[in-house]
Each structure stands twice: as C-alpha cells, then as structure tokens.
Amino acid sequence: MHGPADDDLALLEFLHRAPVAMLQTTGDGCVRLMTPRAAELLAPLAPGGRLDNLFDVLAPAMPTLHEDLARHGSARGTVFEDRRITLRLPGTPAREQVLALGLLRLSEDRLAAWLVDVTAGEHERLALAEHLALATEAAGIGTFELRYDGDEPLQFNAQSCRLFGHPDGGDPRAIVREAVPPGEIRRLAAWVAPLRDGREADAVEFEIRWPDGQPRRLAAKGRLRRGGDETRKAVVGVLWDVTEQRLAEAALEAQRVAERASRAKSEFLSRLGHEIRTPLNAIVGFAQMLLRGAVVPLALEHRQAVAHIADAGRHLERLIADLTDLSLIEAGTVRLESSVVDLGQVIDEVLHEAHASAAMRRVQLRSALPAERLLVLADGTRLRQVLANLVSNAIKYNRLHGEVVVAVRRDGAGWCIAVRDTGLGMSPAQLAALFEPFNRLGREASGIPGTGIGLVLTRELVEAMGGSLEVSSEPGRGSEFRFVLPAAASTAALPAPPRALVARPELRGRVLAVEDNPVNAVLLQSFFAWRPGVELRIAANAAEALALALAAPPDLLLLDLFLPDRPGLDLLRELRAEHGQQTPCIVLSASAMPADLLAAREAGIELYLTKPLDVDRLLNAVDALLATPA
C-alpha cells in the first residue's frame, strides 16, 4: 500500500472517522488511502491480507469497471454511484457479501471510492421481492421489464407467461410476437415511448390470442426505473387479465340496452294502446248503445251488423291488451292480485261474449261443469283473459259445425280447467313451436285472424297464477288446453256480480266528468241517458273542471288521467288537499299500464276503468258510489 502524501494527511484523518468504508486510489486502482472499515470489508478478498489494488479485488465481480472509467474520461466527477456488487467470500461454508460501491474521479490520476455493506438489507430486499412475486402471482398479476440495452431486452415472470397462454414459459419476445396482432404491437410501442422518456402514461389494454386460438384481453401499467447509467434504465410494470371483467361489463351494458329497449317498447305500446283505446271507446260504446236500443230500435240484420262492430272492437282491444301484457311480462313488471273467483260465472261470461263469434263460424259452445260451487284463487281479470284467449282460439281453428267445450274437474286440491275443440289439431312439430311468439304454425295464409301471441301470453299468465298450461293435440281431431288452479273454500265471500243495465230514473246526484275528447264526451252523455235523474257536467280540461267543482261540488268525479293542461291526478289532489273536497273518483283512462294504475290507487281513487268502457260496469259503479239503494 502506498504511503500517504503530506497533502493527504487531513483527508486520511477524516477517512478514519468516516462511518462508511472509503478509499483513495490512483487511476489504475493502486490504493493510496483507506479507512479501517474499508480494510475490514476487503481483507477477506486480499491475498495474504494485503490490499494493493482495488481493481484487482473487484475485477471478478465487476468485469466492466475499466470500461466504465474509460467511458467517463479524465474529467472530475462521479463515475457511478450505488453500484451493487456481490462478492463471494472464502470460507466454509462460502458466503456472499453485497456491497454498494460509488466511484468519484478527483483528478486525472486520483480516484475516491466508497463502500457500504448492504448484505443484510439486500437479503431483506430479496425476501421482500420474493414475497411480492408470490403475492402478485397469487393475484394473477404478471411483471415485465423492458430494458434499454442487453441481450434480453424483454423479461417476464412466470405469471406473465401464463397470462399469454404459455404456462411452461418461453422467450418473451417470441411469445409476444405470436400472441399480439401487429396493430396492437404498434399501439403498445406508442404507449411505451413516453415511459422510456420518463413521462407518465395511463394503463393500456390490448388484445392477444392464446396458442389455442382463444382471444384474451390484457392490461398493462408501467414506469421508468432509472439507474446509474443508461444500461440500468428499464421500463418495469405489471400485467393483468381483464377479459372476464370486460365481458361482464359488455353483458351489463347489453342488459342496460335491452332494458332501455324494453322500456321504450313498453312506452310505445302504452302510447299505442292509449291512441287505439280512445277511438275504440267510441266504437264499442256506441255499438253497446245501439244494441240496447238506446239510440234507435234496430232491425235484426242491423243488430247483427252492430254486433259485428262491437265484436271487432273487443277483438282489437284484446289484441292491444295482449301486446301490452306480453311486454310487461317480459320486463317482469306485470302484477297479479289473487282473490276468490267464481270460476263458473267467469266461464259463463266468457262463453256468452264468444257466442257471436262462434255463431258466425257455426261452432257450438257448451260447458261441462260439476254441480258444486266452483271457487278458485286467481286474478279474476287475468283468468277471464286466459279463458277468452283459449276459447277464441278453439273457435277460430275449429271446423264447420264443430264444438268447443269448457270442462272443469277436480284435481287434488284444485280445479282443472280444460278447453277442448274438434278442429284442425296440431302435429308434433307444430306443438314443439306452439309457444314461440308471433309463430302462427304455418297458418298465416289461412284467412284466420291472429298474431301468434295469444297462447304465449296465456301460458305466461297461467304460470304467474301458479299453474302450468298443458296441451294435447292430434291433426284432424282437435286440441285440448288445460291448467289447474287452487280451489278456494266454498264459504269464501264473493264480490257481488254486476247488475244488468236497467234505467234508474229515481237515482239522484251531481257527476262531473273530465273528458277532453268530444266524441267520448257525447258517449258519456248517451250512457247517462239511462240515469235521467243524475246531473252530468262535462269539462274539457283541468282548469274548467276545477272551476265547475268549486262552483258546485260534485257527488262523483269521472276523471281522465291525461288532460291537455295538467295530469288528472294533480287536479284530484288539489281538490282534496287544498279545497277539502273528498269527492269519490272513478278514473276513465285509455292507459292500462301498471304504473298508471298504481299511481291512481295511491292517489285514493275508488275505481279504475280502462277504455273502451263497458256501460254496465260503469253505471253499476256510479250507482254504488252515489250511495242510492236500488
């Protein structure tokens, strides 16, 4: 070891007190000054315990040391700092020592080096890195390193290889070339460019394809790792699979689109139903008046013609109701109310309403019912709708002089309702497609009216009431549709059936109807001709109705929901909350949507009738609410 020069004595004294190991060498590595700590650290590597040349000691661990010095040149300044080197120390067993080395050129022929023993910290760092690697792999996260220089510019951990569909590993560059399409490669290169310059970049997603052809989607996030020189710089980052997440998001978005489409369809059907029910109200209503002779007595042939008008109007009403109900069932918003229903009465009413249609086709209608009282738990309106659809189909697809029978028999704790016909029947292939919406089973050109949704809706309604619609059929021998509903106790109370329409000249009261359609207003006047003692006033809008109600409070309010100047329920709330008029109210609306029915019920209305109106039901309700005994 060279002795210190006089001008180095002060430096030597400082070095002896320094907490880190420090040396001063000549330009070729010969040691000039050294602290005791440096001697202690390097002594195991010095032959015979003498340390004459630092470069000779470090050469096995730092083969590029001379190149680093040559690259730096003779200018004063830091050659490198915090360069990690691993020394293998002699002994049994052999052990490794990790040093952090820094090198500073003091002058053309003098160098200063400092060493810090980081062995313990390095072991902790490696243990932490191992734990981190295990954690990331357990979470399905891969890591990558994109180096600036070197023979292996791209490195993957095992999880990254698995993410690319190579569980057994392989050359990362070859894996990427095989899995990533050229367009995605260019996009990834554009993403890496700012990272190489030390700038931030958002996470990137890209498409890949596994060796088996399966498409996957990966995401990556990275940043620049800086080193002491360009060779140590690298873009490091993580990779993770987002395929399932994106598929779930796509499915959720598809569901949102479907829900929006369903709502749009429901809204369209609601508007369509409203627009069709309004003129239907006049068609069916005036047909009822003509059939009852309320306008002028009709000859038999005229009565038959008017009956056809009424039947066609009701058919169109059922079609609109079926379309609306099917849409509501698909959206999961249909509501059924279970109550005790007189099954025999419903069957009689359905067969009575179908009589005109059956007579036109010369089909005989009859029922085969047990003698006992037939009470079931069901939604009365939906049950009537189900039976009307089944009977209508049995008539339409029957033969000339055929027969339709509605039969009821006991089935355990319930009643089995069957609708049989002697008509066309169906083949096994037709039965398999029976409940497909809008599929008319090849009978589109038969001249028989229909849309192919009646049976679909019928099955859905039966299932919503807790039953199951079954069918048996044979070509040329007819069909039978049947379902079971739970029986109700024979002692259960039933609602009173509506009375047949009769004139009530003794009935008194004041009725205010809010109806903006002039034709429907005339129809209401025709209905109330059967109640000559009732004063009927008609307002065309909410403002006019409010003025009439305040001038002479009515005994009954007939209210349309959709008025030109404001919603009908807003008018009702104002009359009750601000003016104290607790007038009973019947809604007469062309809307049959559940939301409108619910809003009316929450507003406290007594009855909700949909157009086209049935004159018997309306006037019976008027009689009851005016509280005058028959």
Chain position carrying tokens 């009973």: 584
Which of 187, 200, 183, 207 minimizes the C-alpha distance to 235?
A: 200
Asked whether the predicted pLDDT for residue 447 surpasses 60, the reply is: no
Same domain as 559, residue 463: no
Q: How confident is the model at residue 311 (pLDDT cuts 50, 70, 90)?
A: confident
Confidence of residue 150 (pLDDT cuts 50, 70, 90): low
- 351 and 463 within one domain: yes
Residue 21: give its domain's CATH number: 3.30.450.20
- Between 363 and 135, residue with greater pLDDT: 363
Give the pLDDT confidence score for residue 221 in this predicted structure: 92
Same domain, 83 and 169: no
Q: What is the CATH number of the domain that holds 584?
A: 3.40.50.2300
Which pLDDT belongs to residue 629?
46
Q: What is the pLDDT of residues 473-493, one digit of tens each?
A: 988 889 999 999 998 876 544
Residue 366's pLDDT is what? 92
Going by C-alpha positions, the residue among 87, 81, 66, 78 that lies closest to residue 227 is 81
- Percent of the chain at pLDDT > 70 equals 83
Q: Domain for residue 524, yes or no? A: yes
Domain end call among 241, 265, 295:
241
pLDDT at 441 over 60: no
Assess whether 607 and 459 both reside in one domain.
no
Q: Give me the residue label for tokens 């009282």.
A: 373
> Is residue 342 located within the same domain as residue 478?
yes
The answer to whether residue 163 sits within a structural domain is yes
Residue 386: strand, helix, or coil: helix
**Do both 353 and 490 map to the same domain?**
yes
Cis preceding linkage at 194, omega within 30: no
Average pLDDT, the chain: 81
Q: Decide if 263 is inside a domain.
A: no
- Give domain status of residue 468, yes or no: yes
Q: Is residue 166 assigned to a domain?
A: yes
Higher model confidence: residue 179 or residue 107? 179
Number of neighbouring beta carbons within 10 Å of residue 43: 12
pLDDT at 422 over 90: yes
Residue 595 within any structural domain of the chain: yes
pLDDT over 70 at 30, yes or no: yes
Whether residue 535 has pLDDT greater than 80: yes
pTM exceeds 0.75, yes or no: no
Q: Which residues pair with 511 in a beta bridge?
A: 536, 556
Q: List all residues 6 or more positions away from 273 whose beta carbon is below 8 Å from its beta carbon.
A: 320, 321, 323, 324, 590, 591, 592, 593
Gap between the Cα atoms of 236 and 222, Å rounded? 5
Task: Specify the CATH number for the domain of residue 455.
Answer: 3.30.565.10
The pLDDT of residue 71 is 83
Element (H, E) at 301: helix 300-331
What total of structural domains would you count in the chain?
4
The one-letter code for the residue type at 72 is: H
Which one of 463, 497, 531 terminates a domain? 497
449 has pLDDT over 70: no
13 and 82 assigned to the same domain: yes
Please report which confidence band the pLDDT of residue 138 belongs to, taking 50, 70 and 90 as the band edges.
Answer: low
How high is the pLDDT of residue 553?
93
Residue 253 inside a domain? The answer is no
Chain segment 238-297, per-residue pLDDT in tens: 899 999 999 999 999 998 888 788 777 777 777 777 778 888 888 888 888 887 766 667
Reported as type and span, the H/E element at residue 355 is helix 355-360
Domain residues for the domain of 149 are 138-241
Residue where a domain stops, chosen among 497, 532, 556: 497
Let me know: does 50 contact 27? Beta carbons within 8 Å: no
266 CB-side CA count, 13 A: 21
- 19 and 152 housed in the same domain: no
Query: Residues 342, 488: one domain?
Result: yes
Domain check: are 31 and 86 in the same one? yes
Encoded amino acid at 234, one letter: A
pLDDT digits (tens, 9 = 90+) for 458-472: 888 888 888 888 999
State how far the Cα of 213 lies from the Cα of 207, in Å rounded to an integer.
Answer: 12
Same domain flag for 85 and 179 = no
Q: Which two tokens stand for residue 208?
A: 């890949």
Query: Do 491 and 529 belong together in one domain?
Result: no
Under 8 Å between Cβ of 34 and 54: no
Q: With contact defined as beta carbons under 8 Å apart, do 96 and 89 qualify?
A: yes
Look at residue 129 and tell me if it is in a domain: no
